[in-house]
Amino acid sequence: MVNGFWGRKVGMTQVFTQDNKVVPVTAVDGSGWYVSQLKSQDKDGYNAVQVAYVREKLQGKPFQQEWLANKSKHFRWVKEIAVDQLSETFAVGQPFDFSQVVKPQDHVNVVGTTKGCGFAGVMRRHKFSGGVNSHGSMMGRRPGSISFMRSQGKVIKGKRMAGHMGVIRKTVSNLEVVQVIPENNLVLIKGAMAGKPGSLVYVRKNG
């Protein structure tokens, strides 16, 4: 049984329910993925389906077995999906059907990579309130004191300071699948998820 699939975040939009309520959703594109390898318990020590995303210049072309000889050239991403046991429905070279994994009203966990914000100060990175803004104050957006262990002459590990922000793995849990549109290769998931449009996300069924 497959409990998840890989896709690309398209962006956010909104849909209307039957009782005319507006629901904000994130569209995930699940097209372009092919089964590139099958891993079994006997040979590899675990059961998994390896899927690969075809590069944009090869989109729309028939799958060729020669692509598997040089995956980095023909595929942009190569990922794995854990399964309980391999099924005969999986074959190397066939498109991965994401529409069979989730259905409306399912709850999923979405794993993505947050947006990169470069070098950020403590007010943006850690939500510090900043110093006093009254006339003559020299604090401004500074972090303030960083070391109370002056006798040891060092700053304790884990101190919240300015630095690189973003580009970390983040999981958003318990999101509801609103709609599955196989003809457009889209899954509409209620709420927001980590990542910018076009980034890679993994949608895993909850439970």
Residue found under tokens 């100060």: 121
CATH class of residue range 4-205: mainly beta
Q: What pLDDT does 87 receive?
A: 77
Residue 150's pLDDT band (cuts 50, 70, 90): low
pLDDT digits (tens, 9 = 90+) for 94-115: 899 888 889 999 999 999 999 9
Amino acid identity at 192: A
Per the prediction, the chain carries an average pLDDT of 91
Residue extents of the structural domains in the chain: 4-205
Q: What pLDDT does 160 receive?
A: 93
Q: Is the pLDDT of residue 204 over 90?
A: yes
Lowest mean pLDDT among 67-71, 115-119, 146-150: 146-150
Q: What pLDDT does 144 receive?
A: 87
Q: Is the pLDDT of residue 147 over 80?
A: no
Return the closest-CA partner of residue 28 out of 172, 206, 199, 174.
199
Burial class of residue 26, CB neighbours in 10 A (0-12, 13-18, 19+)? buried
pTM of the model: 0.86
pLDDT digits (tens, 9 = 90+) for 17-74: 888 999 999 999 999 999 999 998 889 899 899 999 999 899 888 888 889 888 999 9
CA distances from 87 to 22, 160, 172, 174 (A): 39, 49, 29, 28
Residue 206's pLDDT band (cuts 50, 70, 90): confident
Give the three-class secondary structure for 112.
strand
